[in-house]
Structure formats: structure tokens, C-alpha cells
Amino acid sequence: MKILVVSGFLGAGKTTFIKELAKRTKKDFAVMENEFGAVGVDADFLEDGFSEGDKTLNIWEMTEGCICCSVKTDFAASVLTIANTVDPEYLIVEPTGVGMLSRIIENIRKIQYERIGILRPVTILNGKMSSRYKEEFREIYEDQVKAAGTVLISKMENADSKELAALGEELSSINPKAEICLTHYTKQPREWWDALLEQEEGIHALKGKESNVEKASPLESIGLKEVELRNENELLLFLQGVVAGVFGDICRAKGYMKTGTAWLRFDVVEHAYSITGIEEMPDSKAVFIGKNIRRTLLREVLQRRLYTEKQFKRPKKSAHPMLKRSRI
């Protein structure tokens, strides 16, 4: 089994890339999703609409904790379990957006034996946000570039060539050995995709700095299940509220829900949001990552029915006069 780690900051486009990789190369894959927070959304998104021939993706989720720090023993155990049970040709690991790539590689190296190989890691970089990430999350940003074998630029489809070239130069100066791909991966030929799955990691890979990732990433998250809004307009208004800061400083949100009769997926990356129609899902979920998140307000808006039932349920008949009066 060969392991390919696909890293990148929150919302950079890791899941979208993995989906494309699976479709283009049609290899025998398992995917391990390590999500920030307790509610996983990416596994369902990966599965959604994925039916290329007879192939389906074998997806494993690790929520709660980051595979580069607190849960590393669980991570090692999970990798070994996958190797010893399903034994796919490739295991694609998608760390949380705030994971330190060098540490993840070190953790994999500890369990590397002749049946497990490490491929040169891929980092996806949201080109539009690179200066902001560099300022706010320098340690994570530099680590994800330095430890990468290949750096792919996303969300720069409309950028001019000068802007792209400047970003390329800056990335090369951080990691002169990496292949920096300025051309969007969707335009790459089949050989390029195959090569990603062939290049083994060099022995002299970067050593992770002993630093505290939690400190480097002062982000919090909330995951909600059974979320709903009445219709698409309500979802639009809600997302406008998210990007305007009504629910706190949210830098990443994602989820899917039934609105009226349609199932919709939403994505928020910094101050932009998008909505896409999806196939019916077994349940609805939403995740919000950022700072100063207004949790109660989010619950009130998205779990109206649940929240109302729980918080304001009429009390059972009580003999206490105060309680009687306080009934709604």
C-alpha cells in the first residue's frame, strides 16, 4: 500500500482534488479523512455522485483531533488496520486544513515497513488567499509548502500570468525541490496524474519542528446534525450572514441539508460562499470553523425544530404556580 497525503489549508480544495484523482486514475483507493471537529462532511461529499464504472471509494473517517498531533497513535493504528484488512493499492490521507504536513509524514514514517510506502505529498494552495494565510498562519503555511513534493495552486483560474508567476517564485523560494504547478490540475494530462502515484518520498524529508499546532491554530469548530432551512432563499440569507460575520469570524463552513424538496450543499471559504445541488443524503450536517463562533445562534437558526423542542418544550403539568405562569 502506498500512502499519498493531500494537504492544504481549510477549504483549499483537497476533497475536490481527491475526487478528481480517483476519477482520472481509476486506481484501487482508500481515503482517510481527518476532519477538524466532531462532525465529518467530506466523506459524504466524496461518495456523492461517485460511480465511475464499478469503482467506489473506500472511505475512512477520523474526526476529533488532528493526525499530526493529539491522535497520532490512533492514526498509526488506523493506517495499519487499513493496510491489513482492505489493503488498497493506495491510501489517500486528507489531513485537517490546519495539520502540519511534516509531522504527518513523520508519523507515517514511524509505521513504514516494506508493505507501506510514502509518496511525495501534495499540497493544495488557495492562490487567492496565500498572502492572508501567510500572515495569519505562517507556521502552517510554510510547513505545508516545505514538506510538499508537489504544490498545486487552486482558485486562480482567473488570475493573470504575472500574478501566477510571482506566486510560483515565492513558493519555489520556500521549497526549491517541490514541483510547483501553476497550471490547474484539471488541465493536466493522464501521465501527470499517474506520476503523482509513482513518486516515492525521498529519505531525507523535512523534519517537523516541535511546535504546538493547537497554538499555531487558534481556531474552534462546531458540527451540527439535523440542520434544516425552509428553502433556498433562507440558505442564501443564512450564508450572507455567515460571510458578514453574524455568526462569528467564520473562515470555513460546509455542509448539506434538505431545503424544501431539494438537497443542497454549501461551502464557505473566507468571504465567499457557494451552493450546489446534490443527490439525496441520509441525513443533514454542517460544520463551522473559525474564531468567536456564536454557537447558540447557529443552533437556533439551523436546528430550529430541534432547538425549539428542547429549549422551550412545555413543561409537564406541575403543581408549582410559577411554572404554570411561565408556560408559553
Binding site for ligand GTP (CB under 6 A): 8, 10-16, 42, 97, 154-155, 157, 252, 254, 267, 269, 274
Q: Which one, 24 or 155, has the nearer CB to ligand GTP?
A: 155
**Nearer CB in complex with ligand GTP: 83/287:** 287
Closest separation between CB of residue 195 and ligand GTP, Å?
20
User: Measured from the CB of residue 267, what is the shortest distance to ligand GTP in angstroms?
Assistant: 3
Distant-in-sequence, close-in-space partners of 22: CB < 8 Å, separation ≥ 6: 29, 31, 50, 52, 55, 57, 92
> What minimum distance in Å lies between the beta carbon of 4 and ligand GTP?
15
Q: According to the 3-state scheme, what is the secondary structure of the chain?
A: CEEEEEEECCCCCHHHHHHHHHHHHCCCEEEEEECCCCCCCHHHHHHCCCCECCECCEEEEECCCCCCCCCHHHHHHHHHHHHHCCCCCEEEEECCCCCCHHHHHHHHHHCCCCCCEEECCEEEEEHHHHHHHHHHCHHHHHHHHHCCCEEEEECCCCCCHHHHHHHHHHHHHHCCCCEEECCCHHHCCHHHHHHHCCCECCCCCCCCCCCCHHHHCCCEEEEEECCCECCHHHHHHHHHHHHHCCCCEEEEEEEEEEECCEEEEEEEECCEEEEEECCCCCCCEEEEEEECCCHHHHHHHHCHHHHHHHHHCCCCCCCCHHHHHHCC
Minimum distance, C-beta of residue 124 to ligand GTP, in the bound complex (Å): 6
- Least distance in Å: CB of 127 to ligand GTP? 9
Minimum Å distance from CB 234 to ligand GTP? 19
Closest approach of ligand GTP to the CB of residue 86, in Å: 22
Closer CB to ligand GTP, 42 or 143, in the complex: 42
In the complex with ligand GTP, the residue whose CB is nearer, 100 or 269, is: 269
Q: Closest CB to ligand GTP among 120 and 254? A: 254
In the complex with ligand GTP, the residue whose CB is nearer, 40 or 83, is 40
Residue of closest CB approach to ligand GTP: 13
Of 23 and 327, which CB lies nearer to ligand GTP in the complex structure?
23
State the minimum distance, in angstroms, from the CB of residue 114 to ligand GTP: 31
Q: Please say which residue, 83 or 181, places its beta carbon nearer to ligand GTP.
A: 181
